[in-house]
Structure 1
């Protein structure tokens, strides 16, 4: 083989190597994309607005995070996190003894406080109700509004379904664990209770503080000689008699994205959103 042939071959090989390097350089897209991290949060419809707002705000600045939030009720949330089908369970009440026994490793995180507001249809002229009168209505002993200082109108009792933490707390704090009237209309969310009361003359219901709006009338609770409105201020002061903590539960101490998300909820940014939504901040 003469020198010219050798030079041609060497040139061809060099050209191939250069082309290969160029092609590889063009197809290199830089660092591999960050792996998406996903957690699921489910349970209480009272805690739901807080969880959703926090998830959206967190994901705005953490594009690698996927926080999936859904309702279903406190019992659903506790069972889901206990059984491992959700990373975080929301509950608008403390754990029942049966739940503590079934899931002893659950860790409680109080993310806000709330009042349970008593709501009626805006047309109702009743000015206030005592806890005893509210109990009498939900027992079915008082069936007409005139029995408790209101108009001559049949009371339509609206409450929550058995999966609700709000119902569980109401059952303990107001009903002294006595049975609800059989005529109660049971709804599966705060929103559904509010809508039914707003559309039904004579209706009474109970909802979390954040669900009060112009479509319903929140009735002050009479505590002796004083009528107390359900509000952030009366919950903080401890004056309002029907108030509770709002919780998120994890199986063991939170880790990874769950821990970051819960820490974010306790930040001043999200606690300000908690207040804006009508709930009571805890920090």
Structure 2
């Protein structure tokens, strides 16, 4: 077995080991912010345009994330930095550079941390659990369905597509390229009918479980009819969306299915799990 395959399989094993240690069911998604808190790792946000993330090992272990990155990307970066923590890599600084992908593929520590993040957030069994709940099949996955799964897993749309192709080999490269022809912006416009860019639109359904719904002030939550709201959320005039108008904790309820989920909207620059 090549060195790269050994690193790959070792990172998968480490990611699943950490999930088990934290009591995260293989059928449920994981919040890297909650995981960091349980592992005694502090998470901070900072307005750093040239940085994805940083792991500081000295003193109290700390992860610093760029507040300027999209939510799904921050989640993946947080899990990536947790990988450095889990492997004892010491202090790491992940810059936002044009050769970032090359560096992550050729640097053994970066490759390990990337693989750890992918399988901490997107184990095959977790993806298939989410698909089974929603009665989805790999050969017929649409862009909207993948977008909803990515929201549930807490990752970016293209991150999940690339993982389905390269990480677990669940769909063909051609199928992945076809899905990537649709962008998250296209999907948000389809969901809302808006012509101007939207910060974030989360697809939430009665099959969401395993972690809280994390959003930011100004985000929209696309909800089916029959949902009820409690707390720091407002409903749109057509009752199709819940709107995160202010920081706080809220709850979504679906009486027909006896389902509920908590929604966390942090104050600016305060990660949800650190409130």
Whose strand fraction is larger, Structure 1's or Structure 2's?
1
Larger RCO, structures 1/2 (Cα 8 Å, 6+ apart):
1
Between Structure 1 and Structure 2, whose CA radius of gyration is higher? 1
Would you say same fold, with TM above 0.5? no
TM-score of the aligned structures, taking structure 2 as reference length: 0.28
TM-score of the aligned structures, taking structure 1 as reference length: 0.28
